Structure 1
Amino acid sequence: MSLVLGAIADDFTGATDLANNLVRSGMRTVQILGDPTGKPLPEGVDAVVVALKSRSCALDEALKDSLAALDWLRGQGVRQVFFKYCSTFDSTAEGNIGPVADALLERLGGRQTVMVPAFPTTGRTVYQGHLFVGDRLLNDSGMQDHPLNPMTDADLVRVLGAQTSHPVGLVSHAVIRAGAEACRRRLGELDASGVRHVICDTLDDDDLDVLAAATVELPLVTGGSGLGQALPAEYRRKGWLAPVEDAARLAPAQGRSLVLSGSCSQATLAQVEHFLEHRPGFALDPLSLAQGDQPIAEALDFVRRQHAESPDEPVLVYASAAPDRVKAAQQQLGVARAGELVERALASLATTLVAEGVGRLLVAGGETSGAVVSALSLDRLRIGPQIDAGVPWTQASVAAGTLSLALKSGNFGGIDIFTRGFAVLEEATR
């Protein structure tokens, strides 16, 4: 069997989110971190997910990196390309979702693609083109306070329409409920009228199955990781994918446990609070970091003491803070500077502590995950068992041995993920 799916993800946690769903659906999946050029693939891989940091960067950089990843994937002979972005459809004010999708489609010679951000398992649904988080519209879900990419409009047709010069259309839920053939007909009608990008209503996993059946032949699909859980079944129906047993098996875990949290989402703030009810943690403040590296040294001392006292327990270092504190720091330092200080500090902690024996590392936040993975010079991840929807354990090779690594999107995970996640790893790799 040849390589079936090649995905381009606009951040590192989103990449592992998609790879997790592919593995759970029986695809042997490897995640490549950063520019894949010149990086060989292992044998026996069905899907490859290229993880970029293109969600919040300048548009020209996002286009360059995404097209380079596409060219590499095409060189691997993939049958279908998947542009993965967040299930909350957030990016920069200039894009980057629309422009990147345009560039990928043009390079592939395609006429049309679908936009399927929904991930019903995690409460992200789309109805009448509007994105919901649980029972709230996106702009009333907390995303309006996102420190990097605030989302103040839930109308995805309107949001995407501002990012592309091409027409944007909608496949309504009534059409999707009529089945895959009805979806294909509607897509054809929209294509005939010049509509390039099509937002797709999605309320549950059955809708994802219909959309996968309707779009499996498209050269490019785009969306959140929900669609990734439905496509493998269609690949098998076409004879592109052989059955696989135990696609998520990892080596036994080793080393001490550490949580690094840079996300300021409501979900992560609750997870931090829950951890602190049971174990101590160390808080990093960007205003203090702007004065020098003393907070990093203090955090290192804290982690070392905790590991010495309780070697089997996870330790938390976090820069997660409520929106008012984040805004105060951004007003003094600037948005970019505040984020860079936190990312640099957490990445520095990761490299030092992994070298000292941390072998189980959970990172919260897309930008933080990208910074940590880059600092550790990781180039690929093997995808393993799921902790919570969208959050798998992965493994990579480091100088000290094998690193078990979980990259958690800020909005994902149960309230106890910072402790329960390590129990899941122990059970799965025993």
Structure 2
Amino acid sequence: MTHDSPRDTPLLGCIADDFTGATDLANMLVREGMRTLQTIGIPAAPVRGADAVVVALKSRTLAASDAVAQSLAALQWLREQGCRQFFFKYCSTFDSTDAGNIGPVAEALQKALGADLAIACPAFPENGRTVYRGHLFVHDTLLNESGMQNHPLTPMRDANLVRVLQRQSSGKVGLIGSVDVGRGPVAVRARMAALRKEGVTLAIADAIADKDLYTLGEACAGMPLVTGGSGLALGLPGNFRNAGMLIEDGAATRALDGLDLLPPRGVVLAGSASQATQGQVAHWLARRPALRIDPLALARGEDAVQQAIDFAQAHADQAVLIYATAVPDQVQAAQAQLGVERAGHLVEQAMSSVAQRLYAHGVARLVVAGGETSGAVVQALDVRALRIGPQIDPGVPATLAVDADGGPLCALALKSGNFGTVDFFEKALRALGAAH
């Protein structure tokens, strides 16, 4: 394939399995000096003026076959843009079931790219996610004891990622342990060579600090495919910089130019049931107005969307929180009555309708908590591309949705359920320039 100059075509092509994960990844790349554009789904037109492109899919909880098909389509489009390397991004808590989708998607991308080995590392030490001897920790707690065992869609009940990934992969899964990672990129490459001889095609990689992510990134220079959480992206831009392909001019930090043209009003929408979001909701409730949307009320046919709009309009002089966040017992009770899929769909549909109608009322600065909720909101607003701005909290940047000509449409902070400090909602509104 013939490539244009590095300033015209992207170097790194990324596929993210949900919307908040995509912004998380894009945030890391911007921090490391790459001009980064996030697209919502696969664009119809070519992309120019970006060093990295992140295609955000909503594939984490799809059937594995559908996730594979969407990911391969995204890969084909990214290859057509001229990308040199490809990154498959999933959650730092390795959200998946025994049926997939991390293994099936990774193996499909490997086959398409002719990659005989790819590493898999969800570690994000800055947010408390570390991998040691193949086991994933959330702060000081094993994954299966962290609250993720209660996730309504992808409950994680095994912290041993080699076992988890092996159950959803057809090839052999191995481990690049902390001893090799600690010895540096040369030792990691030697370990990868040994794993290839053993027939390993996917390798979980240990990482307990950011320096390990930089080591792994350097070791992956020239590899067609890398898979992992957003933290692993810290080590990839340096490879392009060292090769003379990444030229920095400060453009990566000017992504929110035009933010001041938007109406000042902001709203927070929370659909996640994660522990972090529960804490953030509780913090908000003690200080500011909020309204809860109950999936059981939605199922009874109550017009909770109109109630939410009326509530927001009654508090038009300040930011409000509209939330469906609940403790595990409440989530399980709703799922028992409605089923997991219907309960989640009702909440997503309600939140997306609320966002759409608030936007029509002039609310152009939205903070959204939860990957599925964020995906539903972005789709409802027909957002096609995001420019990635400064970090609000680790893994969560401020973003500006833009039209085909680069004009500002709305400001968004899309937060993975497990991310952010307890006062994240307030900080995000400030970062988006919202009146609150």
Q: Give TM-score, length-normalised by structure 2.
A: 0.94
* The one of 114, 122, 128 aligned to 2:119: 114
Please name the residue that 1:248 is paired with.
253
Matched, 1:277 2:282: no
1:182-214 deviation per Cα after TM superposition (whole angstroms, max 9, x unaligned) = 100110110112100010000001101110110
Please name the residue that 2:96 is paired with.
91
Q: Could you tell me which amino acid in structure 1 is paired with residue 340 of structure 2?
A: V
How many Å separate the matches in 1 of 2:13 and 2:149?
32
TM-fit CA distance, 1:356: 1.0
SS at match of 2:253: coil
5+ residue gaps in structure 1? none
Matched, 1:39 2:45: yes
Please name the residue that 1:424 is paired with.
431
1:215-269 deviation per Cα after TM superposition (whole angstroms, max 9, x unaligned) = 1211000000001122112210111211231413212343210000000000000
Please name the residue that 1:287 is paired with.
296
* The one of 59, 62, 67 aligned to 2:64: 59
Please name the residue that 1:305 is paired with.
314
How many Å separate the matches in 2 of 1:52 and 1:19?
14
Q: Could you tell me which amino acid in structure 2 is paired with residue 362 of structure 1?
A: V
How many Å separate the matches in 2 of 1:282 and 1:269?
14
* The one of 417, 422, 435 aligned to 1:415: 422
SS at match of 1:247: helix
Equivalences for residues 172-211 of structure 1 within 5 A: 172-211=177-216
TM-fit CA distance, 1:18: 0.1
**Residues 375 and 293 from structure 1, CA distance in 2 versus in 1: closer, same or farther, beyond 3 angstroms?**
farther
TM-fit CA distance, 1:424: 2.4
**Equivalent residue pairs, number:** 421
Q: Could you tell me which amino acid in structure 1 is paired with residue 359 of structure 2?
A: V
How many Å separate the matches in 2 of 1:264 and 1:235?
39
Q: Could you tell me which amino acid in structure 2 is paired with residue 288 of structure 1?
A: A
**Residues 4 and 85 from structure 1, CA distance in 2 versus in 1: closer, same or farther, beyond 3 angstroms?**
same
How many Å separate the matches in 2 of 1:82 and 1:167?
20
* 2:400–2:408 CA contact under 8 A, matched in 1: no
5+ residue gaps in structure 2? 1-5
How many Å separate the matches in 1 of 2:23 and 2:58?
13
Q: Could you tell me which amino acid in structure 2 is paired with residue 326 of structure 1?
A: V
How many Å separate the matches in 1 of 2:39 and 2:427?
27
* The one of 129, 153, 157 aligned to 1:152: 157
SS at match of 2:391: strand
Please name the residue that 2:3 is paired with.
none
Matched, 1:74 2:79: yes
1:146-180 deviation per Cα after TM superposition (whole angstroms, max 9, x unaligned) = 11100000000000010112111101101111110
* The one of 15, 18, 38 aligned to 1:11: 18
Q: Give TM-score, length-normalised by structure 1.
A: 0.96
* 2:42–2:77 CA contact under 8 A, matched in 1: no
How many Å separate the matches in 1 of 2:130 and 2:210?
10
SS at match of 1:18: helix
How many Å separate the matches in 2 of 1:138 and 1:44?
39
* The one of 364, 379, 382 aligned to 2:369: 364
Q: Could you tell me which amino acid in structure 2 is paired with residue 140 of structure 1?
A: E
Please name the residue that 1:133 is paired with.
138
SS at match of 1:198: strand
Please name the residue that 1:219 is paired with.
224
Q: Could you tell me which amino acid in structure 2 is paired with residue 285 of structure 1?
A: D
SS at match of 1:196: strand
TM-fit CA distance, 1:397: 3.5
SS at match of 1:27: coil
* 1:314–1:419 CA contact under 8 A, matched in 2: no
How many Å separate the matches in 2 of 1:165 and 1:252?
47
* The one of 2, 23, 30 aligned to 1:23: 30
TM-fit CA distance, 1:398: 6.7
* 2:35–2:251 CA contact under 8 A, matched in 1: no
Please name the residue that 2:268 is paired with.
259
Identity %: 56
Matched, 1:374 2:383: no
TM-fit CA distance, 1:401: 5.6
TM-fit CA distance, 1:363: 0.5
